[in-house]
Amino acid sequence: MKKQPICLAILGLGTVGTGVVQLLESNLGEITRRTGREVKITHVGTRRQRDDIDKTINQSADLMNIVTQDDVDIVIEVMGGTTTAKDVIIHAIKHGKHVVTANKALLAEHGNEIFALADEHNVKVAYEASVAGGIPIIKVVREALSANKIDWLAGIINGTGNFILTEMREKGRAFDDVLAEAQALGYAEADPTFDVEGIDAAHKLTLLASIAFGIPLQFDKVYCEGITKITTQDVKYAEELGYRIKHLGFAVRRQLANGEEGIELRVHPTLIPDDELLANVNGVKNAVLVDAHPVGQTMYYGAGAGAGATASAVMADVMDLVRALSCPSAETANSNLVPHLAFLPQNLDNTRILSADEMISGYYLRVQVKDDVGVLAKITQILSKSDISIDAILQKPAHELGEVPVIIMVDPVMERNMNEAITKIEALDSVVDSVIRIRLDELIE
Amino acid sequence: MKKQPICLAILGLGTVGTGVVQLLESNLGEITRRTGREVKITHVGTRRQRDDIDKTINQSADLMNIVTQDDVDIVIEVMGGTTTAKDVIIHAIKHGKHVVTANKALLAEHGNEIFALADEHNVKVAYEASVAGGIPIIKVVREALSANKIDWLAGIINGTGNFILTEMREKGRAFDDVLAEAQALGYAEADPTFDVEGIDAAHKLTLLASIAFGIPLQFDKVYCEGITKITTQDVKYAEELGYRIKHLGFAVRRQLANGEEGIELRVHPTLIPDDELLANVNGVKNAVLVDAHPVGQTMYYGAGAGAGATASAVMADVMDLVRALSCPSAETANSNLVPHLAFLPQNLDNTRILSADEMISGYYLRVQVKDDVGVLAKITQILSKSDISIDAILQKPAHELGEVPVIIMVDPVMERNMNEAITKIEALDSVVDSVIRIRLDELIE
C-alpha cells in the first residue's frame, strides 16, 4: 500500500518561508531517498496572492482556517511575532497538528504554555530553526549530548552583533558606522534594538538553557547587555592583550557555597582569548561552545540566519516528524520523539536563576586617571581589599590632557564585589569618568 | 505499570568500556530525567574478572553467550578488532539485539553486510562513537542535515595525526620526534601505522561519505596518504604563505564533464588557509566541516578520542534506542529510527568513486633547483602548457650548494595533469631531487 504524502502548511512567505519552498523544490530527490515518504506543501498562508508559487498549492490569508484542514499534517510557522503566531500555533495544536517554528521570541516568552498544550494534545512543537539558524544546536543538545551533564555553554547567537564587532575589530570602524552598513546590507532591522541590545540573543539563550539544564523557560530572568557601548578603543586594547570582544550568551550551572546549584543566564559583550575557535568566528556567522561532562568541550558553527540556513533547520524538524508520522501508530510515533525541553516535563526542576549581583566572571576594566604618582597603587589596593585578583595591567601613554587609560584585567569575581570596588575606584580624586567594564572569560574546559 | 529497565551488555572493558560504566554511574540522574526509563548494565564481557565493577553485573568472557541473554536489550561493542567483534555483533543481531559500536574498522570494511543483516532482523547498529569521538557528526549528517544535498565534507578525524602536525608547526619539531612523544603520552599506538598512514582516517571517511551521499561503504576505494613524509621545512613554508598543513579526509561530490556525478574519497595532508577555523583545530582535537545546500558551511568540533568523549557518543546512541524501545510497539519503534546509512537501503546509489588520476585539487609544490638563470621560466612554462594556473611562487635564498627551493602553489587541477607536469619538471637538468607535492584546498563555500 502506498503511503499518503505528508502534507505541509507554510505560514508566512517571507525570506524563510520562501526558503522552505525553494528547498523542497531543489532537494526533493535527496529528501525522498532518505525517508521514502513523499512530502508536499498543500497550503501557504500569505496576505497577498503570490504568482511564483506552484498552482497546486492553496494560498490563503486565513491562517486559522489553514491549520484545521485535513490535508495538513505539519504546520510550519515562519511569520514571526508573538500575537497572531501564538494564536495560530495554539489553534493548530488543538487540531492535532504538529508545528515547526523558527519563532524564538514566541517560544522564549510563551513556550512553557505552548509545550504543555502540545503534550496534552500529543503533538510536537519543533524549533531547531529558532536558535542559531542552520546550526543544529537544538538537536545536538537535546539528543547528541543527552547522556551528559551540561556544565555551561557560551554562544555567538546573534549574527548582526557579531558582524558589527568583527568590522569594528578588523577595520577599526565605530559602532554607529558599522550598524548603518549592517542596516543597508539587510543584516540589521530598521529598528535594531532586538539585535544590538541583546534581546534576540536572550530569547535564544533562554531556549538553550532550558534544554541544557532541564529547567522551565525563564526569559525574564536573563541578564541582558548589548553592544552599543563597545568602543573601538576597547576593541583595540583587548586585542593588544590577546583577547577579542564577542557578544556571547552564557548559560552556566554553578555550585553555590550553600551546597545548592544555581544557574547564570546572561548575555553580554565578553573578552575571550584570541586563540579560541569562538574568537575566530567572524561576520554574521554563529557558533555555540558547550562544556559538558564527560564529553568535554564541543563546538558547533555555521550560518545563524538567512533563507537557506533557516530552511535547512525547519526541514530537519520536518524530517524527524515525517519519520514519526510514518510509524504504524501515530500515538507511538510521538512518544518516540525527544521531549520539548530535552527532559520530561515532570522532571524539569526549579534550580534558582541567580541575580546579576551573584554572577561570577572575570573583568576588563578601563579606568581613566590623571597621570598622578600613586593612583595605580590606590586602585590595586581597592581591588586587593575586595579580594579581587589582578591578572594583567596595561598602562597607556598620557593623552594631551595628562589623562591616561589604565587597563586592568581581573580574575573571576562575584559581580557584587566588583560593583563595590568600582564605586570606590570612581570615588578616587585621580579617577576621571566612570570606569568602563566588560566581562572576560577564559572559556577554560 | 512500571516499565522494565533497559538492559545493556558492554563487550570490552578497556578505556571506552570503562568510560561507559563510569558515565552511567555519574550521570544516571540526568539520563533518567531525560528518558524516564531506567537504564542498567546487566553484563560485561571481559577476559579477566574485574573487582571494580558493581557486584550485580554479570562478568563473563563468553561473549557469544552474553549477547543471547534475555536480560540484554542493547549490546555495546567496544572491544575493537574485525574478527571476534564481527562474529559477536552478527550473533547479537541474529538474536534480535540492538548494537551500539565504536568500531570504525569493522563497519568501514564489513558494514554493508552488517547493516543488511540488522535490517533483516529489524534491529539497529548504531555507531556515533566510531567517527570523531565525542563530536556527534553521525547524528548531524544523518538527521540534522537530512534535508540538504551535501556537496562535500572535510574532516580532521585522526587526533594522533593532528597532534603531530600541531607540534611540528608550533614548535618546529620533526615528525619522528613528535611521534615518539605521542606514543609515550598514549596518543599513538606502539604500531602507529593506522594513525600516521591515514588508515584510521580512511575508515572514518568511508562512513561519513556513505551517510553524506547515500552510497554503499567502499573503504577499498579511498585514496589514502599519511603524514610520514611531511617535513618541518614544508610546514614552515606553508605558514609563510598563510597556510597550515592538516591531515584531512575529503568526501567530495563532483559534476563530471559527461554530465554524470562522481565522488572523490581521499585522505591526505592538505594546506588550508590559516584563518579557516579548521586550520585552528589543534592538538588531539577533531573537527568536521560540511558544505551542503542550502545550509552552507557548518563545522563540528570536539575531542576525537578518550574515555569520556567516546562514552558520551556511545550513550547518545543508547538514549535514542531507549526512546525507541519505550514505544508501545517495538516494531514501530525501529521503523522510526533513521536508516543506517541515512538513506533507505534500497535508495543507496552507485555513483562512481573516482580514481586518484581523476581527482581535482590545488597543490603546493616544492622544487629543489640549481640556482640557474631561467629555470623558473622553464617550470612555469611546463605548468602553463598543462593548463595549470599558478597562484603563488616563493623562491627561497640559495643554500650553500647553490641549490634553492622554489615553492609553487597552483589552482585546482586534475591529478593526471599534475602528474604529467611533475614528470616533465623532474626531467629538467636544473631540477635536483623529486618534486615534493602536498594538496591544497581553499575550502571555499
A28-47 per-position pLDDT tens digit: 999 999 999 999 999 999 99
Residue A118 has pLDDT above 90, yes or no: yes
The enclosing domain of A127 has a CATH number of 3.40.50.720
Which residues 248-287 in chain A show a CB within 8 A of chain B? 275, 277, 280-281
- Closest partner residue to A336 (CB to CB) among B32, B300, B327 is B327
> Is the peptide bond between B294 and the residue preceding it cis, with omega within 30 degrees of 0?
yes
Q: How far is B215 from chain A (nearest CA, A)?
A: 11
| Residue in B with minimal Cα distance to A142 | B34
Cβ A31–B146 below 8 Å, yes or no?
yes
Phi and psi at A274, nearest 5°, equal -70, -10
The pLDDT assigned to B405 comes to: 92
Q: Tell me the average pLDDT across A210-237.
A: 97
Domain-embedded: residue B352: no
Domain-embedded: residue A184: yes
Cβ A23–B294 below 8 Å, yes or no?
yes
The pLDDT assigned to A3 comes to: 75
Distance CA A186, CA B91 (A): 58
Residue B4 has pLDDT above 80, yes or no: yes
Residues making up chain B, counted from first to last: 445
Which of A287-296, A365-374, B197-206, B350-359 is predicted least confidently? A365-374
Contacts of B326 in chain A (CB under 8 A): 335-336
Cβ–Cβ < 8 Å for B438, B230: yes
User: A148 in contact with B at a CB cutoff of 8 Å?
Assistant: yes
| Residue in A with minimal Cα distance to B321 | A336
- Closest partner residue to B296 (CB to CB) among A294, A302, A324 is A302
Average pLDDT over chain B reads 94
The Cα-based distances of A10 to A44, A82, A196, B144 in angstroms read 5, 17, 29, 20
The pLDDT assigned to B1 comes to: 46
Domain-embedded: residue A430: yes
Q: Tell me the average pLDDT across B334-361.
A: 93
Cβ–Cβ < 8 Å for A229, A276: no
How far out from the chain centre does Cα B135 lie?
11
Helix or strand run (H / E) with residue A236: helix A232-240
Pair B171, B70 in one domain = no
pLDDT per residue as tens digits for the range A417-435: 999 999 999 999 999 999 9
Cβ–Cβ < 8 Å for B245, B169: yes
Q: How far is A239 from chain B (nearest CA, A)?
A: 16
Strand A360-370 relative to strand A403-414, pairing: antiparallel
User: A147 in contact with B at a CB cutoff of 8 Å?
Assistant: yes
Residue B401 has pLDDT above 90, yes or no: no
Q: Best of B295, B310, B349 to disrupt the A interface by mutation (most A CBs within 10 Å)?
A: B295
| Triad A110, A111, A113: Cα angle to 5° | 75
Percent of chain B with pLDDT over 70: 97
Pair A24, A100 in one domain = yes
Which residues of A are tagged catalytic? 204
Contacts of A336 in chain B (CB under 8 A): 323-324, 326-327, 332-333, 336
Which residues of B are tagged catalytic? 204
Mapping DSSP to helix (H, G, I), strand (E, B) and coil, where does residue B26 land?
helix
Contacts of A134 in chain B (CB under 8 A): 295-296, 298
pLDDT per residue as tens digits for the range B85-137: 999 999 999 999 999 999 999 999 999 999 999 999 999 999 999 999 999 99
Q: Tell me the average pLDDT across A362-386.
A: 92
Q: Best of B34, B149, B281 to disrupt the A interface by mutation (most A CBs within 10 Å)?
A: B34
User: B200 in contact with A at a CB cutoff of 8 Å?
Assistant: no
Mapping DSSP to helix (H, G, I), strand (E, B) and coil, where does residue B444 land?
coil
- Give me the interface pTM, i.e. the ipTM: 0.97
Pair B44, B115 in one domain = yes
pLDDT per residue as tens digits for the range B156-193: 999 999 999 999 999 999 999 999 999 998 888 888 99
Domain-embedded: residue A166: yes
Q: Tell me the average pLDDT across B244-253.
A: 98
Distance CA A52, CA B111 (A): 45
The pLDDT assigned to B41 comes to: 98
Pair A150, A53 in one domain = no
Pair A148, A297 in one domain = yes
Domain-embedded: residue A91: yes
Cβ A34–B214 below 8 Å, yes or no?
yes
Q: Which residue has the cell 576505494?
A: B221
Residue B81 has pLDDT above 70, yes or no: yes
pLDDT per residue as tens digits for the range B191-240: 899 999 999 999 999 999 999 999 999 999 999 999 999 999 999 999 99
Cβ A277–B275 below 8 Å, yes or no?
no
Return the closest-CA partner of residue A208 out of A245, A253, A246. Answer: A253
Residue B400 has pLDDT above 60, yes or no: yes
Pair B296, B147 in one domain = yes
- A1: confidence class by pLDDT, cuts 50, 70, 90: very low
The pLDDT assigned to B190 comes to: 81
Which residues 70-129 in chain A show a CB within 8 A of chain B? 128
Residues making up chain A, counted from first to last: 445
Distance CA A154, CA A151 (A): 11
All cell numbers assigned to A380: 590595586
User: A380 in contact with B at a CB cutoff of 8 Å?
Assistant: no
Percent of chain A with pLDDT over 90: 90
The pLDDT assigned to A134 comes to: 97
Which residues 210-239 in chain A show a CB within 8 A of chain B? 214
User: A312 in contact with B at a CB cutoff of 8 Å?
Assistant: yes
Q: How far is A422 from chain B (nearest CA, A)?
A: 37
Pair A322, A297 in one domain = no
The enclosing domain of B277 has a CATH number of 3.30.360.10
Domain-embedded: residue A41: yes
Domains: count for chain A? 3
Contacts of A26 in chain B (CB under 8 A): 149, 293-294
Strand A74-77 relative to strand A6-11, pairing: parallel
Domain-embedded: residue B1: no
pLDDT per residue as tens digits for the range A249-273: 999 999 999 999 999 999 999 999 9
Contacts of B32 in chain A (CB under 8 A): 347
The enclosing domain of A436 has a CATH number of 3.30.70.260
Strand B261-273 relative to strand B223-224, pairing: parallel
Mapping DSSP to helix (H, G, I), strand (E, B) and coil, where does residue A319 land?
helix
Mapping DSSP to helix (H, G, I), strand (E, B) and coil, where does residue A27 land?
helix
pLDDT per residue as tens digits for the range B6-23: 999 999 999 999 999 999
Domain-embedded: residue A173: yes
| Residue in A with minimal Cα distance to B347 | A33
- CA A277, A279, A283, A284 torsion: positive or negative? positive
Q: Tell me the average pLDDT across A337-358.
A: 96
Q: Which residue has the higher pLDDT, B51 or A326?
A: B51
Cβ–Cβ < 8 Å for A131, A105: no
Q: Best of B6, B23, B26, B30 to disrupt the A interface by mutation (most A CBs within 10 Å)?
A: B30
- Closest partner residue to B295 (CB to CB) among A35, A299, A303 is A303
Cβ A280–B281 below 8 Å, yes or no?
no
pLDDT per residue as tens digits for the range A267-284: 999 999 999 999 999 999
User: Where does a domain end: B284, B302, B320?
Assistant: B302
- Closest partner residue to B136 (CB to CB) among A134, A144, A297 is A144
Contacts of B214 in chain A (CB under 8 A): 30, 33-34
| Residue in A with minimal Cα distance to B299 | A301
Cβ–Cβ < 8 Å for B14, B306: no
Contacts of A295 in chain B (CB under 8 A): 134, 302-303, 308-309, 312-313
User: B306 in contact with A at a CB cutoff of 8 Å?
Assistant: yes
| Triad A34, A37, A43: Cα angle to 5° | 120
Pair A98, A178 in one domain = no
- Closest partner residue to A329 (CB to CB) among B280, B296, B332 is B332
Pair B174, B104 in one domain = no
Q: For residue B129, what are the domain limits?
A: 6-136+307-347
Pair A338, A400 in one domain = no
User: Where does a domain end: B265, B283, B302?
Assistant: B302
The pLDDT assigned to A188 comes to: 81
Pair B162, B285 in one domain = yes
User: B136 in contact with A at a CB cutoff of 8 Å?
Assistant: yes
| Residue in B with minimal Cα distance to A215 | B33
Pair A127, A53 in one domain = yes
- A330: confidence class by pLDDT, cuts 50, 70, 90: low
Cβ–Cβ < 8 Å for A138, A211: yes
Q: How far is A223 from chain B (nearest CA, A)?
A: 26
- A334: confidence class by pLDDT, cuts 50, 70, 90: low
The pLDDT assigned to B374 comes to: 87
